[in-house]
Amino acid sequence: MGMYDERGLRSLLAAYFDSPRPHDEVVRALHDAEGPACLEALLRAARLRELLFAEGPAAADDEHKALLALMAGGAPIDARVLLCLAAYAYRTDALDEAWERATQAIALPADANTPVVAREANSWLIVIAMRQGRRQDARELIERGLKMATAADDGRALARVYNNLSMVEQDEGDGKAAYAAAEVALLLREGLGDDAETGRSLSRLGELAHNAGEHGLSAIHLHRAAELYRRSGCRRDWALALTNLGAMLTRLQLRDAARSTIEAGIEGARAVDALTVVANGLVHLAELALAEGDHVLADEQARLALDTLEQSGENMYVRVAARTCLAEVGRRVNDFDGAREHLSGPWSKPLSVVLEERVRQALARIELDAGNAGAAVDHVRWLAEAEAPSAELRALLCERMGDTVGEIAALKDHLQEARQSADRWRHQALLVRPAITASFGAPPKEDHAFSVLQGLVHDLRNPLTSVLINLELAQEAIMDKRPEEVRARLAAAHGSSLTIKKSLDRGARSGDPLGETSVQLGAIARQVVNESRAAALRKAISLDCHLREVRTAVPPGVAEMAIRNVLSNAVKYTPLGGTVIVETGVCLHAGAAWAYIDAEDSGPGFAEEDLPLRFEPFKRLSAQPTGGEDSIGIGLALAYRAVVDAGGDVTLLHNTPSGARLRVRLPIYVPGSLEED
Span 542-575, pLDDT tens digits: 899 988 888 888 888 788 888 988 898 898 889 8
Please give the residue that has the higher pLDDT: either 1 or 16: 16
State the greatest distance between any 2 C-alpha atoms of the chain, in Å, as a whole number: 96
Q: Collapse the DSSP code of 200 into the 3-class scheme (helix H, G, I; strand E, B; otherwise coil) and give the result.
A: helix
Q: Checking phi first, is residue 419 left (phi over 0); if not, alpha (psi -120 to 50) or beta? A: alpha
Output the pLDDT for position 302.
94
**C-alpha triplet 86, 92, 97: angle, nearest 5°:** 40
- C-alpha to C-alpha distance for 34 and 668, rounded to whole angstroms: 19
Output the pLDDT for position 489.
62
* Mean pLDDT within 211-224: 87
Q: Collapse the DSSP code of 660 into the 3-class scheme (helix H, G, I; strand E, B; otherwise coil) and give the result.
A: strand
Length of the chain: 677
Output the pLDDT for position 674.
40
Output the pLDDT for position 100.
93
Output the pLDDT for position 4.
78
Kindly give, in sequence order, each residue whose CB lies less than 8 Å from that of residue 528, ignoring residues fewer than 6 positions away: 499, 560, 563, 564, 567
Confidence of residue 610 (pLDDT cuts 50, 70, 90): confident
Confidence of residue 657 (pLDDT cuts 50, 70, 90): confident
pLDDT tops 80 at residue 27: no
Output the pLDDT for position 119.
87
pLDDT above 70: percentage of residues in the chain: 71
Confidence of residue 388 (pLDDT cuts 50, 70, 90): very low
Confidence of residue 429 (pLDDT cuts 50, 70, 90): very low
Please give the residue that has the higher pLDDT: either 280 or 410: 280
Confidence of residue 20 (pLDDT cuts 50, 70, 90): low
Confidence of residue 410 (pLDDT cuts 50, 70, 90): very low
DSSP 547-609: E---EESS-HHHHHHHHHHHHHHHHHHSPTT-EEEEEEEEEEETTEEEEEEEEE--S----GG
Pairing of strands 551-552, 649-656: unpaired
Output the pLDDT for position 177.
83
- C-alpha to C-alpha distance for 111 and 186, rounded to whole angstroms: 33
Output the pLDDT for position 73.
87
C-alpha distances (whole Å) from 280 to each of 108, 275, 307, 478 are 39, 9, 12, 47
Output the pLDDT for position 317.
81
pLDDT tops 80 at residue 472: no
* Mean pLDDT within 180-188: 87
Helices 40-55 and 6-17 cross at an angle (nearest 10°) of: 30
Output the pLDDT for position 446.
41
Per mean pLDDT, which range of 177-191, 288-302, 451-465 is the poorest? 451-465
Give strand ranges (E) for 44-130.
none
Output the pLDDT for position 323.
93
Domains observed in the chain: 403-512 (1.20.120), 531-677 (3.30.565.10)
Kindly give, in sequence order, each residue whose CB lies less than 8 Å from that of residue 496, ignoring residues fewer than 6 positions away: 463, 464, 466, 467, 470, 531, 534
Confidence of residue 396 (pLDDT cuts 50, 70, 90): very low
Per mean pLDDT, which range of 139-148, 241-250, 287-296, 377-386 is the poorest? 377-386
pTM surpassing 0.85?
Answer: no
Output the pLDDT for position 385.
56
Pairing of strands 519-520, 2-3: unpaired
pLDDT tops 60 at residue 516: no
pLDDT tops 70 at residue 111: no
pLDDT tops 50 at residue 82: yes
Please give the residue that has the higher pLDDT: either 379 or 653: 653
Per mean pLDDT, which range of 115-124, 225-234, 490-499 is the poorest? 490-499
pLDDT tops 90 at residue 22: no
Output the pLDDT for position 597.
94
